[in-house]
Amino acid sequence: MSRFLFPAALFLFLLQVTCAKPPVRMPAEEVPRPLPPQVSEFVPRKVYDLNIIPAWEGVLQSLRETNMPLTVRDRDKGILRTDYIKGGEIRRMGKAFSTRYKYNIFLFRESEQRTILNVRCLYEVKERNGQSFRNANDLYLDEVILLEKELYRIIESTLSGAEASSAPGVKAEGKEKASAIPEAPEPKALPPVSSRESQTPPPPAKGETATSPRPEQKAEATMPQPIIYLVTRKNANLRERPSTRSKILLTLKAGRKVEKIQESGNWVQVRIWETTTGWIFKDLLQEAPP
* Domain ranges within the chain, ordered by starting residue: 39-166, 228-287
> What percent of the chain stands above pLDDT 90?
28
Summarised one tens digit per residue, pLDDT across range 264-277 is 888 999 988 777 88
What is the fold of 39-166?
A: Alpha-D-Glucose-1,6-Bisphosphate; Chain A, domain 4 (3.30.530)
pTM: 0.49
Fold of domain 228-287: SH3 type barrels. (2.30.30)
Q: Which long-range contacts (CB under 8 A, 24 or more apart) does 107-112 make?
A: 107/52, 107/55, 107/56, 107/59, 107/78, 107/79, 107/80, 108/78, 109/52, 109/78, 110/47, 112/51
pLDDT digits (tens, 9 = 90+) for 150-180: 999 999 989 988 888 877 654 445 445 444 4
What does the pLDDT look like over 41-68, one tens digit per residue? Answer: 788 888 999 999 999 999 999 998 888 8
* Model confidence pLDDT, tens digit, residues 82-130: 999 988 888 877 888 899 999 999 999 999 999 999 999 999 999 888 8
